[in-house]
Structure 1
Amino acid sequence: MTTAPMRHDDVAALGIEPLSARSVVLSALLGTHPPTLPGRSLVALAELFGIRPGTARTSLSRMVTNGELITNDGHYSLAGRLLERQREQDGGQTAPTVEWNGDWIVAVAASDRRSMAERRAFRESMVGSRLAELRPDIWMRPANTAGPPRPADVLITSGPLACDDVDDLVARLWPLTELEAAAQRLHDALTRQRSALDHGEIELMPQSFMVAAAAVRFLRIEPQLPSALAPPTWTATALRSAYDEFNHDFQGQLRDFFAATR
């Protein structure tokens, strides 16, 4: 397998869409702890993606207006739901440490009279907690991870599950073949992009940024199945380790870039 860094066409072939100004800003802040960066650094980063400074500044203003960011003394920070998203994202980068005892978590939306916003919030909460939808308003997963927060009119229980075929149930809940193929593609992309980091190629930072962002999105929703339920080959586990190593060096490259823009 080639070890040449990913180029624009290679990234596009992975199905990774070009990042908008908003996506660049969010990805940068979601990967920063604490999630605060100078506006000039975010604008400079957007320029690497061919985004004009005026477009980036307009996007920052809109995100503040929409409650996604707060600004203070020229710095921008994540706000509202995006802080929870960062916690979910961070959780995806850490494998569960709880040994699975066979229990399952089940969440049921008890009320049929919910607004579209409430339904959307419920779905986002379930996906963020890595539950999968068995049927409308019934979500579940193995109890080897923390359960979801309980909104009003939602029933949540945890315990043993009587099931005819647990492997069939897992296959109904998650598209395991698709997830495995996606994990393999992302793992290969991270491996290829390592050389760009090792050689400090700033011009290839957008490709590193996009591949890393795609890996983060995948790990945020990857089901983190206990080994007893995961397929024999489950590249998501190796991807998590590969991303951790890649991100350590990539964050260093980003810090150097941001330091030069201040």
Structure 2
Amino acid sequence: MNLILENVSKSFNNQTILKCVNLNFPSNGCHLLLGENGAGKTTLTKIIEGKLPVDSGQVYLKTDQKNKVNCAIQYQNFEAFQYLKIKEVIELFKKTIKQYDFNPDLYNLLDLKKFEKTLIRNASGGMKKAVSIFITFLLNKPIIILDEPFADLDLKKKKDLRLFLTHYVKEKEKIILIISHEVNEYEELFETISILDDGVIKESDHLEKLSNKYKITDNFSIEDLFYAVTGKRLVFNK
């Protein structure tokens, strides 16, 4: 199973946001989409999700034939259901999903049991992020898009989530696309890295191949790779 984007272009008000984007994300792997703020990442994920039409090109899920993309997206902020408890929100989603996937390992590592009775409106940023991540996996879609999944989590949860994702993609036939600014020390997690710069995919390949291509030293980081490809240092506005 592969998520395919072929010659995808998108413009707003005569301004090109994405230009002839070609990407191929195979299943059983985590894939990093890397780019500065304003590079076009949000537009690209909305197109994959089906919330935005393309101006040209196509997006599809390739199995033995072309299929409509079916994905779940974890957004950076979870602000829905303010007056429900965390447990009630999760139960609500379970009732509305025919084939949900309640993963106890993920539930435990995100510490959701401890905060089940907390209202969403009273939850910290880290707890809201945990709820958002868990619900995304609960939806049990073939494609999972995680938007800044490590932000707002404490160091232990970041480490545990990284290990969970590493094992999860080996056990499940899923495609996980991660958008993250926290990339250093996560090199081993990513099957491929795609670098989006000013609406153009500059590179998309396995990390080892890219590091060899750009002759990066053994102690390289993903940020070093980004600089080698774009000539820019990663700078993000908070």
TM value normalised by structure 2: 0.26
Q: Which structure has the larger Rg over C-alpha atoms?
A: 1
**Which protein is richer in strand relative to its size?**
2
Higher helix share: 1
TM-score under structure 1 length normalisation: 0.24
